[in-house]
Structure 1
Amino acid sequence: MKILIIGGNGTIGNKVSKHFSNSDEVLIAGRKSGTLQVDIANTESIENLFATTGKVDAILCIAGEAKWDDFENLTEDDYYIGIRSKLMGQVNLARIGQHHLTEGGSITLSTGILADDPVLKTASAAMVNGGIHSFVQAVALEMQNQIRLNVVSLGLVIDAYEKYKDYFPGHTPISMEKAVNAYVKSVKGKANGQIIRIYN
């Protein structure tokens, strides 16, 4: 398979990329790193990415940002960070990317536990994650050419535990193996329109 991974050099993306590289052709794209460059908040940048890659068999997005802050501090512009990047960035990847997939290909987006179990300072991030969940379930009903669309929603991963543990009191981190396997399930399996939740 020819697999495009956006965010393939990040904490989770790096492990996912290494796994698929054992058996598949992996193209890594990132805003600042990777063999290919893309800013998912910019539609033209996404179109340029696919003009470079040509047809692929799977698209994975493990990228996107949102503002974390106390609700009383969040401005309208703060919300638009997550809306433009993590939400519409992934929506546009699916919207544009579907036309650059082989028949029966797949798109896998990424969210996180905040959609179902938010913590302090995550009003914007939780909102965006929930929106992606609903988007995936709806759009999967309309995809053409047997293209599958799923979203992986992970809990706090062990490799990010030290950095984020204070935000997630009482949360048990999940192994990187479980995180990687969630993406394998989406790409190699037959799931469609699913929120693949790995929270423990």
Structure 2
Amino acid sequence: MATDRDSVLMAAVGVLCRQPTAALDEIARAAGISRATLHRLFPGRDALVHEVAGLALRRMSAALDAAYIEQGDPVEAVRRLADAVIPDATTAAFLTGESRLFEDSEVTAAWDRMDARVTALFLRGQQSGAFRVELPAAWLSEAFFDLLAGVGWAVQEGRLAARDSTHALVELFLGGALRTSSPS
């Protein structure tokens, strides 16, 4: 029986985002394979982490593409973005929490491309008057991704129902990012 690499990688995401130093045995168990099979697929921990990062980045990038964030009303684009990325909240949690990835120039470049797209969305929203201008667009992007990672951890730990995660992310984020008229 062939082992589906992406399934193994997603099982690794589930373990590593909770416990970055988890033993390979624990990752193999979570994937439903032996440690020997895991080792045949990925020659070591660094290779596994790098492959998990690659899958996470591909999934997040595809979600950005699917959300068409460069188009339409910026607030609605944020809602589409949340809908598109919530299924990958756990991968965002992994990417946010795995500090060794920031030493990898390919991973950093891919993350920077995604971040630039989301930053441009918030800048466009600021220019249209939808988002607060006193909060830098780059920080709004970082805050969005950090909240997404928080949703991933909360769902995984049972503190937030998966069915409520998109609503929770959108409402909490937009509650702080939307521009409101100041009192007279």
Please classify the TM superposition score into its range, dividing by the shorter chain length.
Answer: 0.3 to 0.5
Larger-gyration structure (1/2): 2
Q: Which has the higher strand share?
A: 1
Give the TM-score taking structure 2 as reference length. Answer: 0.36
Structure with bigger helix share is 2
Q: TM-score, normalised on structure 1?
A: 0.34
